[in-house]
Amino acid sequence: MAEEGGEGKHQALQTLQELVDGLYCFRDHYFESHSVEAAGRKQQDVLEEMEKTLQQMGGIDGYSQGRAQALMLKGKALNVTPDYNPQAEELLAKAVKLDPELVEAWNQLGEAYWKKGDITAAHTCFSGALGHRKNKVSLQNLSMVLRQLRAESTEQHAQNVMDSVRQAKLAVQMDVRDGRSWYILGNAYLSLFFNTGQNPSISQRALGAYAQAEKVDPTASCNPDLHLNRATLHKYEENYTEALEGFSRAAALDPAWPEPRQRQQQLLDFLERLTSLLENKGKVKVKKLQSMLGSLRPSQLGPCGDGRYQGSSGQKVALEHRLLSALQPGVNTGAVVLGRVVFSLTTDEKVPFTFGLADSKGPCFAVTVYNMVQSWGVLIGDSVAIPEPHLQHHHVQHQGKVSVAWFSLALQEEGYGKSPEIG
């Protein structure tokens, strides 16, 4: 009889597990059976599927009633939605008390605390789960929590971000075929990029991790967060078409989430304002513009014109003064341009700081400045020298709403942030 009872308990738990697995499969693979146009119904559909699953679970006989595994499974079912569920927290807390070795219950309880906004408690749960057994889910979640932990200083926050990257790497190492691990690693690199001086190599690692997430897991392509975060990087690197496409895709996958649509519109507004200012040279009156540009002198090149300029190798480089119209696409090694500021443009995000530069001949070019100190800026009429500028031609097209083209300049540096010479 004991053997039959044990077998019955095992069968009941297995049935409960299959029901919960089916619920999460429905959520995670929703767009394999539904079109993107149905995205607005996803949350309600998942909620209805959860209710149906809970009803089916309630019909399982009492072999497993009160056991930690059964409590965990019911709590996990209630935890399937993005919103905090107090009943899920209660059941999961009971499960870990009954069986402190139940790692999945710790992970689910940590997610419940995360949704509740109790980041410290979530961190305790994921760390505790790893204390019992190394597992990729705890590593993934710990990576996310570390970036949200309240830090006493900027140094502590930077350390948390570095630790977040380490945990995400460990998760990837445990299962290189897990798309969620790659996605979380991409987010960790994204946070590291913005917290450590915007090193371009780190942004490329983030983009590579996102690409790998989509490669190993087709469901990653239906993750609106992935598209929003990747679009943020593309916008920062001035890949504007890719940024707009990413914001648009995120908005389509989660119509109830306002941020992607807002970010898309902000970028469209920025691009339209920028192109208008470039075409009209900042709307500076003709006589004033002629006076500004006619007074440009080689003496205003500063260190870029008297042999004091040091290249990326640290050696002094003699620079040749060229007109903006004489620049070639890419890095113009050994050259320096000089122009007047004819407009400046900022966004709500304050990044990048953009201004228009014109010289005595040719069109107006955009100059974008990143990682600048708050007190730095330029005024209309300032003379600006840019050594070894990197010229890029932008041509942005998006859903028939915008089709614009312009040239922009940047410094040839390993990272972002070195200021041009201002006069």
Domain that holds residue 91: 2-271
Does pLDDT of 161 surpass 50?
Answer: yes
- What is the model's pLDDT at position 406? 67
Instruction: Report the CATH number at residue 292.
Output: 2.40.50.550
Q: Please indicate, yes or no, whether residues 237 and 365 belong to a single structural domain of this protein.
A: no
Q: Please indicate, yes or no, whether residues 384 and 303 belong to a single structural domain of this protein.
A: yes
Q: Is residue 278 part of a domain?
A: no
**The pTM is what?**
0.85
User: Would you call 220 helix, strand, or coil by DSSP?
Assistant: helix
Q: Please indicate, yes or no, whether residues 130 and 217 belong to a single structural domain of this protein.
A: yes
Q: Please indicate, yes or no, whether residues 244 and 336 belong to a single structural domain of this protein.
A: no
Q: Output 306 or 228, whichever has higher pLDDT.
A: 228
Q: Please indicate, yes or no, whether residues 244 and 315 belong to a single structural domain of this protein.
A: no
Bond prior to 352 in cis (omega within 30° of 0): yes
pLDDT, mean of residues 131-144: 97
Q: Is residue 393 part of a domain?
A: yes
Q: What is the pLDDT of residues 351-372, one digit of tens each?
A: 678 899 999 887 889 988 877 7
Residue 96: φ, ψ to 5°: -70, -25
Distance CA 306, CA 321 (A): 11
Q: Please indicate, yes or no, whether residues 99 and 219 belong to a single structural domain of this protein.
A: yes
Instruction: Report the CATH number at residue 55.
Output: 1.25.40.10
**Highest mean pLDDT: which range of 107-116, 229-238, 316-325:** 107-116
Q: Where are the beta strands (DSSP E) in 274-346?
A: 320-322, 330-331, 335-345
User: Would you call 380 helix, strand, or coil by DSSP?
Assistant: coil
Does pLDDT of 1 surpass 60?
Answer: no
Q: Is residue 267 part of a domain?
A: yes
Distance CA 82, CA 44 (A): 11
Q: Is residue 170 part of a domain?
A: yes
User: Would you call 22 helix, strand, or coil by DSSP?
Assistant: helix
What is the DSSP-derived secondary structure letter of residue 281? G
- What is the model's pLDDT at position 302? 84
Q: Is residue 279 part of a domain?
A: no
Q: Is residue 368 part of a domain?
A: yes
Write a three-state SS string for 89-121.
HHHHHHHHHHCCCCHHHHHHHHHHHHHHCCHHH
Q: How many domains does the chain have?
A: 2
Q: Do the beta carbons of residue 50 and residue 71 sit within 8 Å?
A: no
Average pLDDT of the chain is 88
Q: Please indicate, yes or no, whether residues 195 and 68 belong to a single structural domain of this protein.
A: yes
Q: Please indicate, yes or no, whether residues 257 and 365 belong to a single structural domain of this protein.
A: no
Q: Please indicate, yes or no, whether residues 200 and 126 belong to a single structural domain of this protein.
A: yes
Q: What is the pLDDT of residues 175-201, one digit of tens each?
A: 999 999 999 999 999 999 988 877 889
Q: Is residue 276 part of a domain?
A: no
